[in-house]
Amino acid sequence: MRILIDIGHPAHVHFFRNPIKLLSERGHKILILSREKECTLDLLNEYSLDHISISSQGGNGIISLARELVIRNLRLGKIAREFHPHIMAAIGGVSIAQVGRFLGIPSVVFYDTENAHLQNAITYPFAHLVVVPRCYSSWVPRRRHTKYNGYHELSYLDPRYFEPNRLIAVANGVSEKLDTFFIRVVSWQASHDVGEQGWSLSLLEKLTYKLEQIGVVIISSEMDLPESLDRFKYKGRLSEVHHVLAYCRAYIGESATMASECAVLGIPAIYAATTGRGYTDEQEKLYKMVRNVRLLDWSILEREVDQLLAYDSKHWLRARQSMLSHTTDVTKYVVKVLEDYPYVGDQAESLSEIEKHS
C-alpha cells in the first residue's frame, strides 16, 4: 500500500512514528507531509523521518488559520495526485478529509479533542473514518467512526515501545538528588484554542517559586519566558523530553497531551486549563492519575498540588498498572486500522465494565 500521513503538530510526530516504522517494515510505502509549527520539523529530523513541509503556522485567529488551510489543501491535493495513495491518515485531519473526499481517496482521521468544534465541523463530514478513544465525549459521524481502548499517548509511551532512561533524563535536566517538577505552558494558537487564554504570569511565578522550595523546576514553554523565569527553561533535546517526564515527581501544566503522557508513564499530573478533555477526565475518574483544574486560581491550584504530593510513589505505580491493563496496543491498532480499512470494528469496552475492576 501507499500511505500518506499528514503531520501538523509535534505530538503527531510521536503518535505516528511507531506505526510508520511497523508499516514500513511490513512493506508499505509511506509519504509524510509536515507543517512548520513549533518543533514539529525538528522532531521529524531528530527521528530521521523524511518529510515534505507544505505549510507553516501563521498568526493566531480564524483568518490566518483559514488562509493556511487553503494553501495546505492545494499543496496536499497536488502531491496526492502524484503519489496516488491508497489511504491518507492524520490527527485532526482537516486537509486530508477535505482533499480525500474531493479526490476520492480514503481518509482516516484520528482525534481526541472534543472542544475543537470548528475544526471537527469542517473535518468529520468529509472524513471516510474517524477514530477516537473510548473516552471521547463529543459528536462523531454515526456510521463512519470507531472507538478503541486507550489514548494517543500510548502509541509512543506504552512500555512495549518506550523504556525511560535515567541517564538521558539527568542529561536533560532532571536532578540526581532532588525531586524534579515539570511545568508546561502553551501558546494557545492551535485551531481548537481560538478564543481561549491561559495562565497569568502571576500564577506561573507562584507555582514555580513554590515548587522551587521543594526541588528542581523545569518549565517548557511555547512562548518566551520573562527574565524572572528564564533560568527554569527546559534546555534539553526535544526528542528526549519523555525520559525527563518519566523521572519527575509531578507535572503541572496547560497541556492536556503532556498531562496524559505523564499519566501513562505513571507520573501524577495536574491539567490546569479552562477547557477539558475526555481523556484527562477519564484518567482522573478511573485511575486518579490526572487532576483536572478548571478555575485558574492560585489558591485552588496550590491545594491540588499539596494533595497530589501527599501520595507516595507506590500509589501511582498501582494506578498506572490498572490503566495499562484496560488499554490496547495503540501502535498496532493504528496499523490495523490503516491496513484493514474499511473493515474496522469498534473495540472499546464500556466504562462501566472497566470501573468494576478498577
Residue 177 pLDDT: 95
Residue among 111, 147, 154 at smallest CA distance from 325 = 154
Residue 351 is predicted with a pLDDT of 58
The three grid cell numbers given for residue 139, joined into one nine-digit string: 459528536
168 contacts 243 by C-beta, under 8 angstroms: yes
CATH number of the 166-323 domain: 3.40.50.2000
List, for residues 172-226, the tens digit of each pLDDT value: 999 999 999 999 998 644 443 334 568 999 999 999 999 999 999 999 998 889 9
pLDDT for the residue numbered 193: 39
Rounded to the nearest integer, the mean pLDDT of the chain is 92
Is the model's pTM score more than 0.85?
yes
Q: Whole-angstrom Cα distance, residue 37 to residue 41? A: 8
Report, as an integer, the average pLDDT of 145-155: 96
CATH architecture of 2-150+328-356: 3-Layer(aba) Sandwich (3.40)
CA proximity to 113, closest of 244, 12, 220: 12
| CATH 3.40.50.2000 residue spans of the chain | 2-150+328-356, 166-323
Task: Quickly list DSSP for 122-161.
Answer: TTTTT-SEEEEETT--S---TTSEEEESS-TTHHHHSTTT
Task: List pLDDT tens digits, range 57-115.
Answer: 876 678 888 999 999 999 999 999 999 999 999 999 999 999 999 999 999 999 999 99
Beta-carbon count within 10 A of 216 CB:
19
User: What is the strand order of the sheet 180-185 is part of?
Assistant: 216-221, 180-185, 250-253, 269-272, 290-293
Give the model's confidence band at 265: pLDDT under 50 very low, under 70 low, under 90 confident, else very high.
very high
Beta bridge partners of 32: 5
Question: For 239-260, what is each residue's pLDDT tens digit?
Answer: 999 999 999 999 999 999 999 9
Q: ∠ CA 4-112-86 to the nearest 5 degrees?
A: 20
